[in-house]
Amino acid sequence: MDLKWNNAYPGVWTFQTGEPELTLTGVAGRKPSSHLIQLDEMECPENLTCDVFGKYTVIRIPLTDDDRVFGSGLMFQKVITDNQAYHLRVDHFAGMEVGNSHAPVPFVAVSNGIGLLCNTPEKVDFYIRTAHRKEDKERIVEHDRASDGNWSCYNPPYFIEIAVQSSDVEFVLFRGKNIKDCVARFNLYCGGGFIPPKWGFGLWHRTNMTMNENDVQGVVEDYRKHDFPLSVIGLEPGWQSGSYPCTYDWSEKNFPNAEKMIRNFLKDGIRVNLWENPCISERSSVYKKLYPYAGSHLLWCGIVPDYTLPEVRTILKDHHKTTHFAKGVSGYKLDESDGYDKWLWPDHAQFPSGLSGFVFRNLCGLLFQRITYELYHEQDQRTYGLTRSTNAGGVGFPYILYNDRYDFKEFVTGLCSCGFTGALWCPEVRGAKTVSEWIRRFQLLAISPMLLLNAWANYATPWMFPEAEETIRETVKLRESLLPYFYTAFAKYHFEGIPPYRPLFMDYGLFLNANKATLGELDDTANPYQEVQTTDIKDQFIVGESLMAAPLEPETTSRKVIFPPGKWFDFHTGKQVVENGGVIEIFCGEHDPMPLFAPDGAIVPVKVDGSLQVKKFGTKPGKYMLYDDDGETFAYERGEYHWTELLV
């Protein structure tokens, strides 16, 4: 099939087969950012191919030996995604990197600056260098495993094949000067990133689900006594008159004076965030209105309304406005849209719009965000919250992903890989077995998109380890001091499409020869096919303009850090660490701040005692554009913001 790409924006082309009714970006209701037109024109790649046969549309992206592939959704175990098949599906992550993800975004990016979005909610399979085609015989070299030391289970094909189970598909092709520029164009095409309200960068505490109004007020009072600046208090299921399934109505028993409580909190600068999930109880005041628009199967005995229908969005938006927003509620935690098959609706479920259970599952979290985001946008108030799932097009929704796994390494890798999804990840703190774990988890949170202590199933507080209380307090203060830097990073997410959290590869390329693979060690059970080992950097990441974070794992006081070429400096002391990149071991005491590093010439604005200070590293000339706006409304969309140029 001839691919006739339509040049939509500089470096962005579209192509479709058949007549697709739904696209991910269309369902999200987000239009491409106007900032796309300011980018440089790029030459359209001409060597992609596409075939439609049976129920499949298959598009092929050619690769070279030096190319490396990223993307295919939120990853928790790797950043480079070569030599793997991914069957994308919104689902809880159960420890197997096969495509089940909270953000199975059908976008792939290549190190050469080319990216492709399959802009569809249908089933998408990525085959990244996994199987040769017989017409490529001249590129296939056979080796005998028993006698030839060059044998490998991987003889990487020179292409990615992406199969969509539909003959009606829109594809969006991106080309940038490099992979960072490519991802930026993808984010801008999906609407551009969000800018959270300034209060969203503060300390969050989610209360135990059994707590009532008096208990919650007690938690807030304890934060005052311990001198911790609480910004958001999150109420878990107990705030509702019924949950699992939900009513979305206040519990008169547990929260008889909800509005008074919320208004008093607001006077002290504390916002209230409410927990919800998609299943609605027949005890809910909106149950009868929504019943005709619900899917064929129940979730925890509650109906699941079809969010693609405007009638459903109107009913839910009106209810949330009068029952929550009018009382002063500032946002939501949108839970359990990712699902476990044993209790979620099946793939063959039917929804009134005609969607299958599988397709609705891919859209549920995305639309859940849209409903609440539009409510706050219409009131000209920014919101910030949490979601269990999202998809392409959700980059502009102010929600952070989370799940119920609690592996520290996975949390760090999630912060790295999210840069290729148009989504952000929250490595929340729930509990810890040791002081070291408690400190290390808080340190990771302090430079993440949201500083969240989630005590929904326990009664954890920042001071639960008395010997670590002062260290946690200083960690929170570090985050507060970096607010100008973080805020500017999110502004660049919005205006330029640059992810505020991203892997080193996005800024520095394959500087460690990360494209060189080595044969794995043979093991008859752990590695019977000697699977290839590729150098990956999944435990360090870039934050904002230039800071590099190198988190330490719990129970450790040292680690090896990979530095890209050039001079690098310790953020906390200003001392030079390396002259021209390399790998060194760094040491960090249990109560020392988390290692952060800045390259030569970096400028980092910080807030100290209410005033703005500027940190400059090294001798190389530096330039930094500092962003600010009112921090509360959407006035920045109306041009009410300013950039300040900092030059050293």
Contact 474, 518 (CB under 8 A): no
Residue ranges, CATH 2.60.40.4040, the chain: 502-647
Taking alpha carbons only, the member of 116, 117, 85, 115 closest to residue 100 is 85
Residue with tokens 């960090």: 588
Identify the weakest region by mean pLDDT among 60-64, 80-84, 416-420.
80-84
Superfamily of domain 6-189: glycosyl hydrolase (family 31) (2.60.40.1760)
Question: How is domain 240-254+270-383 classified at the CATH fold level?
Answer: TIM Barrel (3.20.20)
What's the rounded Cα separation, in Å, for the pair 398 and 270? 18
Mean pLDDT estimate for the chain: 94
User: Does the pLDDT at position 325 exceed 80?
Assistant: yes
Give helix 469-481 / helix 435-446 axis angle, nearest 10°: 10
Q: Which residue has the tokens 């269309």?
A: 26
- Bridge partners of residue 44, in order along the sequence: none
CATH code for residues 502-647: 2.60.40.4040
Whether the pLDDT of residue 163 is over 60: the answer is yes
The whole-angstrom separation of Cα 123 and Cα 166 is 8
Over residues 532-580, the pLDDT tens digits come to 555 799 999 999 999 999 999 999 999 999 999 999 999 999 999 999 9
In the chain, which residues fall in CATH 3.20.20.80?
A: 240-254+270-383
| For residue 483, pLDDT beyond 60 | yes
Question: Which range, of 242-246, 336-340, 367-371, 636-640, averages the lowest pLDDT?
Answer: 336-340
Q: How confident is the model at residue 512 (pLDDT cuts 50, 70, 90)?
A: confident
**Tens-place pLDDT, residues 244-256:** 999 999 999 999 9
Model confidence over 65-84: pLDDT tens digits?
889 999 999 999 999 998 89
Longest dimension (CA), the chain: 78
Q: Is residue 101 pLDDT above 60, yes or no?
A: yes
Task: Supply the pLDDT for residue 515.
Answer: 42
Q: By the 8 A CB rule, do 156 and 68 touch?
A: no
Residue 514: pLDDT band (50, 70, 90) is very low
DSSP β-ladder status, 331-334 and 271-276: parallel
% residues pLDDT > 90 (the chain): 87
Amino acid at residue number 210: T
- What does the angle CA 157 – CA 161 – CA 164 come to, to the nearest 5 degrees? 165
Domain with CATH 2.60.40.1760 in the chain: 6-189
pLDDT score for 627: 98
Task: State pLDDT tens for residues 190-242.
Answer: 999 999 999 999 999 999 999 999 999 999 999 999 999 999 999 999 999 99
Mean pLDDT of 506-513: 86
176 close to 184: Cβ distance less than 8 angstroms: yes
Token readout for 94 is 């159960």
Contact between residue 75 and residue 130 where contact means Cβ atoms under 8 Å apart: no
| pLDDT on residue 96 | 85
Of 141-150, 178-187, 449-458, the range with the lowest mean pLDDT is 141-150
Tokens of 382: 């920014």
Q: 3-class DSSP state for residue 239?
A: helix
Residues 170 and 20: beta-carbon distance below 8 Å? yes
The mean per-residue pLDDT over the stretch 271-291 comes to 98
pLDDT of amino acid 57: 97
Per-residue pLDDT at 260: 98
Strand blocks (E) in 142-229: 159-164, 169-175, 203-206
| Res. 523 pLDDT band, cuts 50 70 90 | low
Secondary structure of the chain: what % helix, strand, coil (to 5)? 25, 25, 50
Token representation of residue 394? 């959700």
State pLDDT tens for residues 439-466.
999 999 999 999 999 999 999 999 999 9
> In the structure, what pLDDT confidence band is assigned to residue 405 with cuts at 50, 70 and 90?
very high
Per-residue pLDDT band at 136 (split at 50, 70, 90): confident
Q: What would the two tokens of residue 341 be?
A: 């098959």
Between the alpha carbon of residue 443 and those of residues 203, 317, 348, 552, the distances in Å are 13, 37, 44, 9
pLDDT top residue among 239 and 517: 239
Phi and psi at residue 80, in whole multiples of 5°? -75, 130
- CA neighbor of 389 nearest in space, from 89, 90, 99: 90
Q: What is the mean pLDDT of residues 311-333?
A: 98
One-letter amino acid at 596 equals L
User: pLDDT, tens digit, for every residue of 592-644?
Assistant: 999 999 999 999 999 999 899 999 999 999 999 999 999 999 999 999 999 99
Q: Are 352 and 309 in contact (CB under 8 A)?
A: yes
Q: What is the mean pLDDT of residues 275-291?
A: 98
Whole-number pLDDT of residue 171: 98
Q: CA–CA separation, 59 vs 50, rounded Å?
A: 4
